[in-house]
Every structure is written in structure tokens, then in C-alpha cells.
Structure 1
Amino acid sequence: MKRNKLMILLGAGMLLVSSCGKEFLQKLPQGQLSEPQVGNKDGVEGALVGAYSILNGNVSGTWGNYSSAPSQWLFGEVASDNAHKGSFLDDQSPMNMIEAYNVISTNDNLSQMWQVYFEGVMRCNNTLRLLANDQASTKEITAERALQIQAECKMLRAHYYFMLWRVFRNVPIITEDISTEDAQTVKNDKDVLPLIEEDLKFAVANLPATKINNEFGRMDKNAAKAYLGKLYLYQKKYGDALGLFKEVMAGKDIVGMPFWNNFDVTTENGPEVVMVSKHAINSNGSADNANVGDMLGGLYGSSPVGCCGFYQPTIDLVNAYKVDAKGLPLLDDSYRTNPYLSDKGVAANATYTLNVKLRFDPRLDYTVGRRGVEYLDYGIMPGNGWIRDANYAGPFVGIKTMIPRSQFPTQAAPGENYLTGLDVNIIRLADVWLMAAECEVELGNLAGAMKYVNDIRKRAANLEPKKTATGVNAADYDVKPYTSFPSPDYARKAVRFERRLELAMEGHRFYDLVRWGIAKQTIEAYSAFEGQHLSSYLNLKFDPADEYYPIPQAEIDRSNGALTQKK
């Protein structure tokens, strides 16, 4: 169910604390809360958990939370050269506008993103008000805990505003000092980045070094440092960003952290977690707290999942995993020469032989499902049998959002295997490593940048090869470290390419292209290639105005003129 208002009343969607782990986000039935519930210590803590709950992009229900997903698969990947909307042309057709860069202000995906993340902002503000009332009167909450709650709220608010800023840019600034009624008339004529920076600095100063109550979903000092560094990176403040990234990375060995642990429910609470959206199937089987945002990526047809056929990797992304004779990426885009197309154009009942001699980075088969290659514990991926319309969106499927069949009984909603308890990393350590590498390039330390990139590549080399039905490796897998970054331009390309390979299908790509200033050239070159093989993606045109999206028209109408369209 979608909200029809931007602002929420105090207590709307309020949650109370349950047990630790994922279940600390378990929702109770929503309804009116009594004054004691919101006016005491438990009420403040419950309001804080309510603010956390928006991390999964969901206010209520399961269907319809696609554009607000913490993975940002729609705005961050489908809008880039990494992924197609998938399914078939007429399914969720407003998403086609995002993929084709012709979005209008009445697109329902914009409204969903706006409403959910502003509800997150308002829940943070409401919690801060409740906390202030407690500290001004009964002081049930200790001064130490009060500072932590403030820091948790402010970091959450910074995150919600950062997500809104990346998509819309021009958003109204609403803090706890503005009443719910006045919030509806706040103009969107000020830059929100200073508030985000202020909130993150407060979080860095006042969050503990370890997770509160050992709950992995909680904010901590490292998460705040990484996020503040990310904000500085977007602003090209490379020195400030690098210092924070180094503090987050200190004493950690990314090479020894298994890549796949980030995408396995049984190992997701590992050392690579920096900031995460926690998900869980509730004890009663409900999925409000599950990974509802990624549900459309569930495999279609004869697959064990049975729905829904969206979010398919592009042909371009798959070919980007090719390596040369030295085990290095093809940074000159020659990976598009003689492209690998899997079984595109091959009838489902026709004989298909996988070419196992192709040289690929092994991360390909931990990011993409392709015909003839084992897929989790589902067996060998059969091709079109798991795809709705391969002629429309291609022959590939995603992996990172799926869980093994063996985990369905405990980690999927009953009868809905596309609703899972798999967490979504908002920031993971490899992301920090590569952001640090980017800073080193821009600060002139090419050796330092190469070291960070090679750490990620050395870890990738540890991936166990994927197999075919006959038990042989599904490709000539190879990934080797760089031996030199001969120039800043080469180093810059290497770092950017590595971000694509490592973080593909995790919601970063479009935003990276925009902040690098190369979205137009990258997307139009991709379109020229992809369109040769899938006609729906030929002749895409990207303009500077497409770097962010129009404010939903319904919100402008509702504001009685306070909000204005900037594009």
C-alpha cells in the first residue's frame, strides 16, 4: 500500500524493540499508540527502530517497493549499462521510461522513492523530538544513550536524504525543529548536502565503535566514517574522503574475506559489512521485513523461484568480465569485439554447447546466471526456461539477490521464494577499498591506487570456479593483479572498471557514471553496442538533465506551490 501523503504523523508505522539480530526490526501491528508508549524510554527506542525500518525501502506490505529498494536496482543499475528492467516490454511499463531516459513527473516509481525516504526522514525527526522531550523532563534515558540515539537518528536521516538527493537533487530540508504542519510548505530551494554532512559528522563523533547490542543493522562509528567519506567523494574532496576511508580500512584484510559471504544469508554478518539493510522473514511467516525491494528479480518460469523475471544483466556487463592473456580487463572496450551472447537466438529445445574456453574473470558467474553453468544449488541454468522474454531483455539472469533452494524453508516467505531474508549491503568494505583507490588516483598516488585495486582482484582470484553439467569449469577463469598504472588516465579507467566488476548489480553504477561526468558517453556507447543485439536498447540518448529525476507531480500539487520543478 502506497502512502498518499509526504509527511507522516507521530507514531505512524511506529515499531517497538524486539530481540537482537534481524528480529529487532520485527514489526508489530500498526495502529494508534498510547501516550505512555511514545512518552517514555521504550517509546523513544521504539520510535528509533521505526526509523531504522525504512532502510529496507518499505513502509508496509510487500508488493510495490521496487524503486525504493535499498539495492537501488532500478535507479542505480537499470538506468545504467549494467542491467535491463527485464520481464517483457509491457510489464511495469513506467520502468521502461527510466531505462530509456524519458521519465515524466507522474511516473509512479518517482513517487514511491520520494514518499518512502521522506517517511524515513520524518521518523528520524519524530524520534529526535521524543528524545528531546525526555531529556527536558524525566530523563529516563541516560545522557550517554541519548547521544547515541541522536547519532543513530542523524546518520539515518543523512542516509535517507542522500538517497533522495542522488535521485532528485532539489529536495526540501526538514529537520526536527520544523513541525509536521509547517513541513508541508517548506521550499526546495536550498542545498541539502550541508545538512547531510552535519548529521554525519555528529554520527562520527557520537556513535560507538561497535554495534549497539551486537545488532549488525545498527549504525556505528565506522559506518558513519565510510558514509561521510562517500559524501566527500561525491563532492570531489578527495583528501578528506581518503582519510576517513583509511580509518575504516585500518587493520582489515579484504583479500581474506570471501566474496560470496556478502550474498549468503548464513554468512552475511561478516567483517565486510559496513552499513546494511537487515532483512528477515518474521516468525509468523510474514515478509514485511524481508528483502521486498528485490523481489521482482526472482527467476521466472521453471526455476525453483517461480517469479518474476525482472532485473537482467546486460550483454555489455557480461562481456566486460572478459580478460586478456594477462588476466586483466579490456579497458579499451575491446570486450565488445566478437561478443559472447550465450544462447541468444538458440531455440529452447535445441542443442546448446557452452564454450568453456572463453577467458573470464570468475566474478562473472557469481554475478550472472548463464545457460550451461551451475546456479546456486538449483542445478544447471537452462536458458530461456528461466527467462520471460530473452528477445527483449537478453539471455542472462542475476544471482546476487537470490538464495539457495535449501534455504527456502527458513529464509523465504511460504510459497513466495522471491521474498527472502537476504540482507542488502548499502556500503561494504570492497566499496570502501575502491573509493579509497579512486581518491588515491585523483591525489596522484597511483601506486597506492593500484595496491587497493589489486587487493580486490587477489580476493576475486580465490573464488572457486563454477562448473558445467559435466563437471568441467564453465570458463577459462583468470584474474590477475596489475603490474603498473602507467598514467593517471589508465589508473582512473582501471579503478572505475574494477568498481563495475566488483559491485555490479549492487546499485552503484548509474550514480558512479553521473559523478564521474561520463554518463552520456558511456550510456550512448553502450546503447550502440547493446542495440545491435537487443533492439529495444538502440539509439538511447542521454542528456545532462537525465542525471537526476523530476520531483513527483503529486508532491508539487500537494505542497500548494512550495515545491518547484528544477528540470
Structure 2
Amino acid sequence: MKRKIIYFAMLIGILACSDDFTDLPQIGAFEEEFLQTEEGANLFLASAYSMLTGRSNLSVGDSRMRSGDNWFHDVLGGDAHKGSTDNDLSSLLRLELGEWDPSNEQLPRKWATLYAGVNRSNAAINAALAGGLIQVEAQARFIRAIYYIELTKMWGNVSVVSEENFAALEFNQPNSGPAWAVIESDLQFAIANLPTRVNQPDAGRPSTEVAMAFLGKAQLYQSNYTGALASFNSVINSGAYSLNANYLDNFRLEGENGPESIFAIQFLADGGASFNANPSTLNFPRGGGPFTCCGFYQPSQDLVNAYQTDAAGLPLLDTYNQPGNDVTNDHLLASSDAFTPHTGPLDPRLDYTVSRRGYDFNGFGIHTGQDWIRAQDSDISGPYISKKNIHQAGDGNVSPVNNRNNGVNYNMMRYADLLLMAAEAEIEAGSLENAFDYVNLVRMRAKNGEKLQADGVDAANYVVEPYTTAFADQAFARKAVRFERRIELGMEGHRFFDLARWGVSKEVLDAYYENEGRTIPNFGSKVAPFDEAHVVFPIPTAAIDLSEGNLTQNPGY
């Protein structure tokens, strides 16, 4: 009988039967000769890609904190509230309120998802090595690097499970530190062996430029500004990417995989349960259009305030959140109560990011206020609804089962993100002038692109302009670039990690907790001051227990 290779895609080898801890994909037996073909190796590769969604055969509903779009990290970074009522998914509420317990049920689910991705990548790497399939190996190593980037961003000290460990079933590895060395090695291999973008015909698969972009991100997270700048410049100078003419194109089906998309999770809806659809099924309004559930992921007043501009169209870098300067909101008002929306100048990106009372909600009608909000007055969710994760009315690729499973991709990185990361690197290791130019490229798109309309005219008082005076010094340049990242990338899962790598989490989030109380009066009394240990997450208790001493808890937990 021919020898068979058994494929086990297991979570770090520390196995449990409960899907509260890990999702176990199908265990299959394959002939060795088949695995050494491109078709066989690509089966493993497809399995590795699939975990980017945060879903698997055992997580068929919403993915909550598993989700590949990292929506819940916006809650932890001050851009959003959990949403819905406070007692709905209290495990998520506890994280928002600063109660970070290693036994919180959400943490092992994300841990399991990411390590399942690592080990599925390892399976693909081993199959590629056996068959001499360099292209498959390069893709699998790129995907493995993505999972390790996410693990390192979240937990800092992580276990590295190599393809050799995987083949030997040696999954129980210590968490001895960040995985940056492995990440960079995988990305360098991908850069050397993947095709360029013009020669990569398949949307959703990486190219040389994609791998270089993520290498720059990994270098930026390590404060290797010179290396990051070289990597970002390589991508910029390649001409492979450009900004979409319209901001909204990044978040609607017709704009998917366009010139701005560097690497996106490819979501797909079908006629059934749509297990490959965008998993943000909780994050729809309670009312409006065809939606009846579920009211999670509500943008914060703090984020909304950040979109204010002065008469010259520039952001209020230092004053956007001062008392008396809030964007007008309808919190605690009934939908039948009179309400006049904000009349001051605003950046138009606001109304493609946040749904406010009185404005169109993705073509599904006018947001009428409290009738569209699931939360009650005593809850800490606020009056706003997220928009970027929700399809536009009339889009195809939406499941008929609940009208929420949709095929809207999530851009793990888009060109505006890269330009602003390049601006950061320029500030620290290059030219303030180049940083100025990159910020203005992003702002010019906001100025010249389409804006939300009402009866054929701009729906609000949109005023946005590029900077006209050069950045005076590093301090001002940092402030301008960091602020631009927030308003360009709001509600895209980046904010919490940006604050952590800048070393400003406590300063920014403690101010947020205080200021948000002006809109949500009981918010400040419920949330705890930011604990500086919380720049990384606690290692899940279940993982530590099952590791038999190989995993060490992060400091402060």
C-alpha cells in the first residue's frame, strides 16, 4: 500500500475537543503522489487562505472577535463601542470596559483561529516542499507571515510553530518572544519568489509588491524606520497601486480588488448560510432597509468629532474633542423628537464611515435615529452605526438567508494605509517634505472624490483641503500623520494597534474615556482607566493550562 500523508491542521498542537478553544478542520488522508502535485498542494493552500475570514466549519455564525476584519479592536482603540445592549455578549463588553481576564471566552477563539491559519499554512508549505512547488510555498509563507503578524500584534510573545514542528507533530512550543524574525524571513522568501502584480492574475493572491508592503509594515512595528522606508518606497515606485478616485470605492462591491487594494480578504456570499461571507453579521442596524439585527459596532462620539475641520478645511488636531465642540448628535432623543444635524464643516469621509441620524444609510433609507439603534438609554453604545462593513443597497453577492451575510471584502492593507505608513517612516528616517506630500495625496482624494449626496447636493457642509504650509517639525508632522490615519482608516481595525506601537495608548484612551462621557453620561463610571499592560492581550488560560508549562503569561496578567 502506498504511504499516505495525514494532514492535521491543529491549533499549535495543544488540542481540546471544545470549539470554545479551537476549531478543528477536517482530518483527511491523501496519497503522497497527489499531495506533490500542484492541485494537491493548492488544497492545503486554499485551507490556509480560508482562515483569514475568521470562519471555519465549526464557526458557522458570526465570528465576533474571530473576524479577520479586526472590528472589535476599534472598540478597544476608542473608535467604537461594542454596541447593542450592555448585557448582549457581556464577554465583549468586559473587554471594552477594561476587564481583561485571561479566561475571557473571546480570547481563545481568536488565538485558535490564528494558529489554525499558521498550521494550515505549514501543511501547504510541506506539501509544496515535497513537490518542489516554489510558487505554492511562497504563497503559503506569505499567508503564514500574515497570521504571525496578527498574533504578534495581539499577544507580543507568541509560539512559533515551524513547518518542521508541524511535520513532527511538535506543536507545543514555548512563547519566547515576538515572531518578527520568522515573519521577515517568510516575507523575504515571498518577495523573491512571487510574481509581480501585473503577472498575478488571481485576485486575493499575493504578489511581490504585496509581500514587500507587509515587510514594510513589519519593519515599522519594530521601529526599523530605515528598513520600512526602503520597503514602502519599493512598492510606491513600482507603480502597482494608486488611490481610487472615490473613497467609497474601497467599501463597495464594484470597487473590490481595484487599484487601491493591496491585499484583501475575499468574502463571498451564496444562496445559503454563506460561510465565506463577511462575518460582521452582528454589526448591522436593528432597523432600516431589510435589517432587523443586531446593532453591534457603533462608532464613538470621539471618532465622529475627529472629522471636524476648520474653515480652511484642515483637521482640528488639538481642539476637535474639547468641551462644547462635539458634532451634534441625537443620543437619548426619540426618533419622533425634533433634531437638527450638525451644520459646521466636516470631512466628507465621516459619512462614508459613520451613519448619523438624518443621512442616507448605504442606499437603504435615511437613518431616523433611535428607531435604528438597538441599545437602550442606559447602555453605553451611543447613537451611531458603522457603514464600511455593510453592503450598498442593490449590490449583489448578498445571502438571501438574512440579508447580512455579504461579499464585501476587507482590505487588510490598501494604498492609503501604505502611504500613511510611509509618511511615518519618512518623519523618522527620511524627509518631512515627503511625509507632507503623502498626507496631501490622501487629503486631495477626500477633497476631489464623490461625497454623500441628498437631493443632488452635498448632504452636509463638507470642507476638506490639503495642508498648504510645510510641516514645521517632527512633532507636528507626527501629529498630522497620526490624525490622518485615524480619519482615513476609521472603523477598519487599525486604531488600537496604532496607539500601542506609538506608545500613547494610556494618554489617548484615558482622555477618550473622559470625553466620551459628555455624550454617554454613564460611560465614564463604567470603564476603568487604561492599564498599560493592555497594549497586548493576556495569553488565554485554556492555552496555558493545556501547554503543561510551555506557555508563559504576559506581564501584568
The normalised TM-score by structure 1 is 0.89
Task: Describe the SS at the equivalent of 1:362.
Answer: coil
Q: RMSD between aligned alpha carbons?
A: 2.2
Q: Distance in 2 between matches of 1:129 and 1:444?
A: 40
Contact map agreement 2:241 2:259 (CA 8 A) in 1:
no
Match of 1:242 among 202, 215, 229: 229
Identify if the C-alpha distance between structure 1 residues 340 and 190 changes in structure 2 by more than 3 Å, giving closer, same or farther: closer
Deviation at 1:512, TM superposition (A): 0.2
Is 1:117 aligned to residue 121 of structure 2? no
Is 1:396 aligned to residue 392 of structure 2? no
Contact map agreement 2:52 2:68 (CA 8 A) in 1:
yes
Is 1:133 aligned to residue 130 of structure 2? yes
Match of 1:511 among 483, 492, 497: 497
Identify if the C-alpha distance between structure 1 residues 361 and 516 changes in structure 2 by more than 3 Å, giving closer, same or farther: same
Residue 32 of structure 1 is matched in structure 2 by 28
Aligned ranges 1:68-147 → 2 under 5 Å: 68-75=66-73, 77-135=74-132, 146-147=133-134
Residue 553 of structure 2 is matched in structure 1 by 565
Is 1:429 aligned to residue 415 of structure 2? yes
Q: Distance in 1 between matches of 2:505 and 2:431?
A: 25
Residue 437 of structure 2 is matched in structure 1 by 451
Deviation at 1:562, TM superposition (A): 1.4
Residue 393 of structure 2 is matched in structure 1 by 405
Deviation at 1:466, TM superposition (A): 2.2
Match of 2:165 among 157, 178, 198: 178
Identify if the C-alpha distance between structure 1 residues 223 and 507 changes in structure 2 by more than 3 Å, giving closer, same or farther: same
Deviation at 1:518, TM superposition (A): 0.4
Contact map agreement 2:308 2:327 (CA 8 A) in 1:
no
Residue 485 of structure 2 is matched in structure 1 by 499
Amino acid at match of 2:434: G
Deviation at 1:177, TM superposition (A): 0.7
Is 1:41 aligned to residue 33 of structure 2? no
Q: Distance in 1 between matches of 2:240 and 2:46?
A: 30
Deviations 1:507-560 (A, max 9, x none): 100000000000000000111100232144315311220101111111111112
Greater shift in the superposed pair: 126-135 or 517-526: 126-135
Specify every segment of 5 or more residues in structure 1 that has no aligned partner in the other structure, as ranges: 10-28, 136-145
Q: Distance in 1 between matches of 2:34 and 2:26?
A: 13
Identify if the C-alpha distance between structure 1 residues 413 and 255 changes in structure 2 by more than 3 Å, giving closer, same or farther: closer
Q: Distance in 2 between matches of 1:31 and 1:178?
A: 18
Contact map agreement 1:344 1:390 (CA 8 A) in 2:
no
Amino acid at match of 2:72: L
Match of 2:327 among 321, 340, 346: 340
Contact map agreement 1:354 1:474 (CA 8 A) in 2:
no
Deviation at 1:150, TM superposition (A): 1.2
Contact map agreement 2:287 2:371 (CA 8 A) in 1:
yes
Q: Distance in 1 between matches of 2:26 and 2:172?
A: 27
Deviation at 1:231, TM superposition (A): 0.5
Amino acid at match of 1:126: A
Greater shift in the superposed pair: 444-453 or 160-169: 444-453
Identify if the C-alpha distance between structure 1 residues 372 and 471 changes in structure 2 by more than 3 Å, giving closer, same or farther: farther
Contact map agreement 1:303 1:385 (CA 8 A) in 2:
no
Task: Describe the SS at the equivalent of 2:499.
Answer: helix
Deviations 1:48-73 (A, max 9, x none): 11111111111224324221212111
Q: Distance in 2 between matches of 1:132 and 1:444?
A: 40
Contact map agreement 1:323 1:478 (CA 8 A) in 2:
yes
> Once the two structures are aligned, what percentage of the paired residues are identical?
38
Q: Distance in 1 between matches of 2:203 and 2:420?
A: 23
Residue 538 of structure 2 is matched in structure 1 by 550
Contact map agreement 1:211 1:219 (CA 8 A) in 2:
no
Aligned ranges 1:228-377 → 2 under 5 Å: 228-250=215-237, 251=239, 254=242, 257-282=245-270, 284-292=271-279, 294-338=280-324, 339-355=326-342, 357-377=343-363
Deviation at 1:449, TM superposition (A): 0.7
Deviation at 1:81, TM superposition (A): 1.3
Contact map agreement 1:372 1:382 (CA 8 A) in 2:
yes
Deviations 1:425-477 (A, max 9, x none): 00000000100111111125211111100000000012333244x66533211
Q: Distance in 2 between matches of 1:530 and 1:555?
A: 35
Q: Distance in 2 between matches of 1:263 and 1:507?
A: 14
Identify if the C-alpha distance between structure 1 residues 305 and 516 changes in structure 2 by more than 3 Å, giving closer, same or farther: same
Q: Distance in 2 between matches of 1:479 and 1:374?
A: 20
The normalised TM-score by structure 2 is 0.90
Greater shift in the superposed pair: 538-547 or 474-483: 538-547
Amino acid at match of 2:11: L
